[in-house]
Structure formats: structure tokens, C-alpha cells
Amino acid sequence: MAAETIDGKAYAAALRERVGALAADFEEKAGRKAGLAVVLVGDDPASAVYVGSKGKATRAANMESIEHVLPASTTQEELEALVDRLNADPAVDGILVQFPLPDHLSEPRIFTRIAPDKDVDGLNPVNSGRLMAGLHGFVPCTPLGCLMLLRDRLGNLSGKDAVVIGRSNLVGKPMAQLLLADSCTVTVAHSRTKDLADHVRRADIVVAAVGRPEMVRGDWIKPGAVVIDVGINRLPPEDGAAKGRLVGDVAFAEVSEVAGAITPVPGGVGPMTIAVLLRNALVAAYRHEGIELAEDAI
């Protein structure tokens, strides 16, 4: 029996609708819109498209999009000065600096410069520490979106065996912490893990975020497991096509024959990232103004 396809696009649309309704409520109570500032440095086409889509989604959710587009020649000092101004601006509730930055700029210096309570990307080490300690903070958008999809599919995750393939600060490490907080037994694996397939075969939950196209094969999967594919990779073009097809880190067709449920690529985890960004920005706005927001509201 083929696995159920987890529709991240539909879940993200519903989340964005909830955010929009609560953003309208926030505006009524605070007398202003929640504000999300997005900073783009340079002219990377993919980043420009992504920033544009974030701005459109922010405005559609009844929030203020504050966009700063800087030339590739921007210095570290100039970028840090902009971050400082945004940290101090009462109309800005959340700040996101689009990565990657041009090579001469230091990404760690930037994400540690963003005020933790405006760090809606969850990359400031203060927020990483809050996550580790089980305190309120902001979590990177992609792993939080993955957790939402898992809870929606499985309900209570307590006692589940989970394997996270990938150890990045953006996905793998925070994903493991979120699963631990939900009382899963968690193994963090990666491309150099010995007998990786054997680790994966024991898992009720598999989160693949390793950046290798179709690395996770069907015979790695425990029957009925839930598989979350975070990877997005473009294969070389075939048969004269202008572009190669997009695939995840999971061999979708093979794994679908064994798993209980799986996210597709595209249309699975990807749409959740912007939806959770909007969610984080709105939570930041409520906290900024000291307005109570129910834990389970979004």
C-alpha cells in the first residue's frame, strides 16, 4: 500500500490563514500592524525571488513588510549598522537577513547581532540556548514546520523512535531538540554515520536534511514510518530539458512503497517555511507589545 502524501502546501495555507486572522486582531489591539523586516544583500536571483515571496506573503497576512535591498558591495559595518537600527525600531517586530550573504560578509556576526526577541529565523545563539533549555524562544522555521506536520499526522509523539539525518544549525540540531522536547528517542545521524541505513530502519520518524539527492532508499525505511524530506536538490537536465527535476533527500517512489506517510518535494516542507516565518513574526509582535497570545493559537 502506497504511503499517504503529507500535504505541506495545504497545512501551510491553513497556518497562514490563522496568522492573518490573528494579525488583524493584533492590529486592532496594538493600533499598528505587526512588522517583519527582511534584508537582502546582493543580487542572487534565488534569494531575490525568495525575499519577494516573503514580502507578498507578509502583506497577504495583514502584516507590514519592511524590505531593505542592499548592494553586494555593502560592508560588514554597514550591514551591522542596519541591523542595529532595526533592533531599535519599535515598528519592527521580526528581523530576517536573507542568507547566503556575499562572501566578504560574516553570517555568524549578523545572526548574533539580531536581537534575540526579533530573531524570527531562530539563529541567534541565545535562541539556540533557549531551545536547549526548554525556554520560550524562536526556533528556525523549517524544523518547527516539520514538527507541526508530524504532530498533525501522528498526534502525540511521545515514545517514538526518531532519526534526524543532518546536523546543521538551521535544521538538524534544532529538529533533534524539538523531537526530544516532545519525548521522542532521538538519534542524530549524518552523511558520515556508520551503518546509517541500520539506524534509519529502527525509526518511527525519519527527518532527512542532509543535502544529498535521493540518498535515503526504500529498503532503509521501517514499514509504516513517517518520513519528512527537508532536502531540495536539482538533478542535471535530461533529454534536452532546460532544467533538471527537483528531488529531495529521499527516493520518493521507493520510500512511498514502505512508509506510512511522506512529504513530497516540492509541496511538502517547503511551503511550511514561509508560513512558520509569518507565525514567528506575529508571535514576536504580540510579545513586543505585551499582548497575551494563547499557546495553541498558532
**Residues 107 and 161 occupy one common structural domain:** no
**Residues 156 and 104 occupy one common structural domain:** no
**Residues 192 and 244 occupy one common structural domain:** yes
CATH code, domain carrying 65:
3.40.50.10860
Q: Is residue 126 part of a domain?
A: no
Q: What is the pTM of this model?
A: 0.94
Helix axis angle, 141-154 to 8-30, nearest 10°: 110
Nearest to 25 by CA among 63, 54, 65: 63
Question: Could you list the residue range(s) of the whole structural domain that residue 157 is in?
Answer: 141-271
Q: How many distinct structural domains can be found in the chain?
A: 2
**Residues 97 and 162 occupy one common structural domain:** no
Q: Is residue 125 part of a domain?
A: no
Question: Residues 136-159: what's their mean pLDDT?
Answer: 97
CATH code, domain carrying 197:
3.40.50.720
Question: What pLDDT, on a 0 to 100 scale, did the predictor assign at position 297?
Answer: 81
Q: How far is CA 229 from CA 205, 226, 269, in A?
A: 11, 10, 7
Nearest to 153 by CA among 220, 217, 228, 210: 228
| Measured distance CA(264)–CA(30) in Å, rounded | 39
**Residues 153 and 240 occupy one common structural domain:** yes
Tens digit of each residue's pLDDT (9 = 90 or more) over 53-95: 899 999 999 999 999 999 999 999 999 999 999 999 999 999 9
Q: Is residue 279 part of a domain?
A: no
**Residues 104 and 156 occupy one common structural domain:** no
**Residues 145 and 266 occupy one common structural domain:** yes
Tens digit of each residue's pLDDT (9 = 90 or more) over 148-182: 999 999 999 999 999 999 999 999 999 999 999 99
Residue 284 pLDDT level (bands cut at 50, 70, 90): very high
pLDDT above 90 for 243:
no
Question: Residues 9-24: what's their mean pLDDT?
Answer: 97
Question: Residues 252-274: what's their mean pLDDT?
Answer: 96
pLDDT above 90 for 141:
yes
**Residues 243 and 156 occupy one common structural domain:** yes
**Residues 181 and 231 occupy one common structural domain:** yes
Active site residues: 54, 98, 121
- List, in sequence order, every residue forming a beta bridge with 41; answer none if it has no partner: 70
Q: Is residue 7 part of a domain?
A: no
Strand 261-262 relative to strand 161-165: parallel, antiparallel, unpaired?
Answer: unpaired
